[in-house]
Chains A and B, each alone.
Chain A
């Protein structure tokens, strides 16, 4: 009677319904901070840092797969699991770091909003307050879900970087050559750049976000393979966009020896080299990415902090029911938007230190994650396979090494 009810069409429908966590996470990943890092990497080092995207991709897939698996098996958020198994002190340390780092990151997002709108001739004193209030209303007034979908649609505009890159007429032969044997001087700057690229691709808050989205979808182990496809698609999108941003800046700015500090500079510098359209496309992509992340980051951060400390949280709750959550959310927005509006705000310093905090926090969160995902009491038969553990531990050791080196270099040079 019910035979053949699930045709190919239905399989696609299932996939589309499950689709999301990985792809949205992937899109948020290329935020203002990411775009800045990739642009500077391309402008300064040309094609020579493209290879870093390969290990980034592998690590990204491995980590997100663990998040998805933990979410599916336990039905609990990463913040919940850490609190329940690591106690209050460790939780307090992790989430204080996460909070400070994310305020810094959100500031970077608003810097992206300000910068991209300046390319179109709009002052930051107009763009930042307007966007800040819009983002706030979007979440507090509960129209967040529809906003998420619009953003997802807009995040396709990130693929505009492909257009922007092609307009700069890149040398494909050189690109291939640079990936296989990069010409890279090993010094403090190049080290910092590599850490920057990996650090911006794998942000600590992303791990929490990924796991919560999987739970929200209510997936079970039968849908695991669809979830895996979703993750791979999302990670691929992240890396492809990053690739083309680097290429766009490398084939124009680097060749001409233009030095940039911000993503906005990249957009402005593209104008004489690749045309006004390429410049505007670049700025528009930055604008969208910045708003997307400026919405999700403060929201996600407040959610995990409340989850870990046992306060009510969620956008489906009313203000009175979840006072701590909304207060925290509003404070993060006001604080980070406010910093941008300060004249002579030390933006580069802020983005640098939030990257450092992220870099230090990531190994800690990863260690917690690996301990949790290998715990038979929590994961049952779905504990990590040896290959997951090897890749994860290598990542942790490499990241810790890199972060400590970065910290050391920044403090003593």
Chain B
């Protein structure tokens, strides 16, 4: 046999398999392919096993001794020998019926969820491989059994039905919710997606799949994705994680975001999480949690950099290099006195264009626009727009600097308000 046979999963599932002596072996129920964790020698995963039903009994056989042929347009499957598939393959390999066909998968290039209508396979001399998934209308019609007549009809009027396929390397199977065995998947391809896209996908998924994908992410990535999720999904995901993992993820997030998320949880759970988190982060979060909703304190970020007015630019730069703050903290710098009372602001631009031995008090802008921590949020947007600010310092009633509100948080609040008004 030197021919290449391409075929669809839907054409092979449900047909009868025979051995080389034309003896009936059973009905094909499923195919197993190499999962991503095993090293793929070629670009595409090979079919490793086949599930066959005979006399009401299901058995898994190794696919190496099976041959797929196309005779007069009909797919035939022939078993040269029946070898039981090792337990390891049954448990670890990817079942096309259980986890791919009719399930949602992540289209990595399109960055969205799509539903699989069929799987395209190819049989070569050295084995049978899964090539692509069919997500187009043609696949649907093929499954219903009206693709061929429809295609014929279309060809009469000179038209064609465009197929839609995704190459096997460009998607990630995610739906294992119908399985009892717990696969420890790595979802390597998903790691390449932008956190916002990943968050959108997680929101659209069922509960089990979204929890599983989230817990497969490393803490850093998980924190980025968590920030992008809708509040309901944030709570739902947090509830699905172990306290330790949840605390690790929260540790990597800004304190104001953490406080927002915790607001949606039950009191006992909040205490558990805060105790598990690192002392420094949880202290900041506790302070923020005191502020009621709709006050500036509840959306402000408690991460900011403040300096003494006698420090030089050189010293400021050294301090920044030492602490390596996030970019939003870096852009807006503050000047405070010994008791943390806000005196002035200066920007990273001022720092960059000033000679290193200059003192801060020469470049700083005194009596800056500021907010009170218990002020209502809806006044903030106006102030931001009026003074063209990227961030505003927040002080308490003794003018002690407590944090800052970044324009990003203001926009987020505005969007949320608009959405709930809809």
Point out the residue from A75, A85, A89, A312 that lies within 8 Å of B207, measured CB to CB.
A75
Q: Does A381 lie at the interface of the complex (its beta carbon under 8 Å from any beta carbon of B)?
A: no
Are A2 and B102 touching (Cβ within 8 A)? Answer: no
Are A6 and B102 touching (Cβ within 8 A)? Answer: no
Task: Produce 1/0 per residue, A1-18, CB < 8 A to B.
Answer: 111011000000000000
Residues of chain B lying within 8 A (CB to CB) of residue A92: 144
Residues of chain A lying within 8 A (CB to CB) of residue B267: 2-3, 5-6
Are A309 and B177 touching (Cβ within 8 A)? Answer: no
Residues of chain B lying within 8 A (CB to CB) of residue A218: 230, 232-233, 235-236
Residues of chain B lying within 8 A (CB to CB) of residue A220: 235-236, 239
Are B102 and A84 touching (Cβ within 8 A)? Answer: yes
Task: Produce 1/0 per residue, B129-154, CB < 8 A to A.
Answer: 00000010000100111000000000
Whole-angstrom CA separation of A312 from B112 in the bound complex: 10
Asked whether A75 and B206 contact (CB < 8 A) given A84-B178, A88-B117, the answer is: yes
Q: Does A154 lie at the interface of the complex (its beta carbon under 8 Å from any beta carbon of B)?
A: no
Point out the residue from B103, B104, B140 that lies within 8 Å of A88, measured CB to CB.
B140
Point out the residue from A74, A85, A145, A312 that lies within 8 Å of B206, measured CB to CB.
A74
The residue in chain A whose Cβ has the minimal distance to the Cβ of B145 is A89
Are B178 and A89 touching (Cβ within 8 A)? Answer: no
Shortest Cβ gap from B144 to chain A (Å): 5
Task: Produce 1/0 per residue, A54-91, CB < 8 A to B.
Answer: 00000000000000000001111000100111011100
Residues of chain B lying within 8 A (CB to CB) of residue A348: none
Are A2 and B114 touching (Cβ within 8 A)? Answer: no
Are B236 and A84 touching (Cβ within 8 A)? Answer: no
Within 8 A of A (CB), among B77-101: none
Interface size on A, residues (CB 8 A): 31
Q: Does B421 lie at the interface of the complex (its beta carbon under 8 Å from any beta carbon of A)?
A: yes
Point out the residue from A5, A73, A377 that lies within 8 Å of B178, measured CB to CB.
A377
Asked whether A378 and B239 contact (CB < 8 A) given A74-B208, A143-B422, A217-B232, the answer is: no
Residues of chain A lying within 8 A (CB to CB) of residue B217: none
Whole-angstrom CA separation of A312 from B233 in the bound complex: 20
Shortest Cβ gap from B107 to chain A (Å): 11
Are A80 and B178 touching (Cβ within 8 A)? Answer: no
Are B205 and A75 touching (Cβ within 8 A)? Answer: yes
Whole-angstrom CA separation of A89 from B177 in the bound complex: 22
Are A85 and B422 touching (Cβ within 8 A)? Answer: no
Q: Does A343 lie at the interface of the complex (its beta carbon under 8 Å from any beta carbon of B)?
A: no
Are A83 and B177 touching (Cβ within 8 A)? Answer: no
Residues of chain A lying within 8 A (CB to CB) of residue B279: none
Whole-angstrom CA separation of A73 from B177 in the bound complex: 11
Whole-angstrom CA separation of A275 from B307 in the bound complex: 80
Are B210 and A378 touching (Cβ within 8 A)? Answer: no
Q: Does A144 lie at the interface of the complex (its beta carbon under 8 Å from any beta carbon of B)?
A: yes
**Majority secondary structure of chain A interface residues (helix, strand, loop or mixed):** helix
Are B206 and A76 touching (Cβ within 8 A)? Answer: yes
Point out the residue from A1, A75, A217, A312 that lies within 8 Å of B210, measured CB to CB.
A75
Shortest Cβ gap from A241 to chain B (Å): 28
Within 8 A of A (CB), among B265-283: 266-267, 270-271
Whole-angstrom CA separation of A85 from B205 in the bound complex: 16
Whole-angstrom CA separation of A378 from B178 in the bound complex: 6
Are A146 and B286 touching (Cβ within 8 A)? Answer: no
Whole-angstrom CA separation of A144 from B267 in the bound complex: 35
Point out the residue from B114, B115, B205, B210 that lies within 8 Å of A83, measured CB to CB.
B115
Whole-angstrom CA separation of A1 from B285 in the bound complex: 13
Whole-angstrom CA separation of A346 from B175 in the bound complex: 47
Residues of chain A lying within 8 A (CB to CB) of residue B207: 73-76
Residues of chain B lying within 8 A (CB to CB) of residue A1: 286
Whole-angstrom CA separation of A218 from B235 in the bound complex: 9
Asked whether A88 and B143 contact (CB < 8 A) given A2-B271, A75-B205, the answer is: yes
Whole-angstrom CA separation of A146 from B178 in the bound complex: 37
Q: Does A310 lie at the interface of the complex (its beta carbon under 8 Å from any beta carbon of B)?
A: yes
Residues of chain A lying within 8 A (CB to CB) of residue B117: 88, 310
Whole-angstrom CA separation of A310 from B164 in the bound complex: 12
Whole-angstrom CA separation of A143 from B232 in the bound complex: 21
Whole-angstrom CA separation of A400 from B421 in the bound complex: 44
Residues of chain A lying within 8 A (CB to CB) of residue B156: none
Q: Does A401 lie at the interface of the complex (its beta carbon under 8 Å from any beta carbon of B)?
A: no
Shortest Cβ gap from A90 to chain B (Å): 11
Residues of chain B lying within 8 A (CB to CB) of residue A3: 267
Whole-angstrom CA separation of A218 from B239 in the bound complex: 12
Q: Does B71 lie at the interface of the complex (its beta carbon under 8 Å from any beta carbon of A)?
A: no
The residue in chain A whose Cβ has the minimal distance to the Cβ of B230 is A218
Q: A6-B267, A74-B208, A89-B144 are in contact. List 14 more A-B contacts (CB 8 A).
A: A3-B267, A74-B206, A75-B207, A75-B208, A76-B207, A80-B206, A83-B102, A84-B175, A85-B178, A218-B230, A218-B235, A218-B236, A310-B114, A377-B178
**Which residues of A are in contact with B by a Cβ distance under 8 Å?**
1-3, 5-6, 73-76, 80, 83-85, 87-89, 92, 142-146, 217-218, 220, 222, 309-310, 312, 377-378
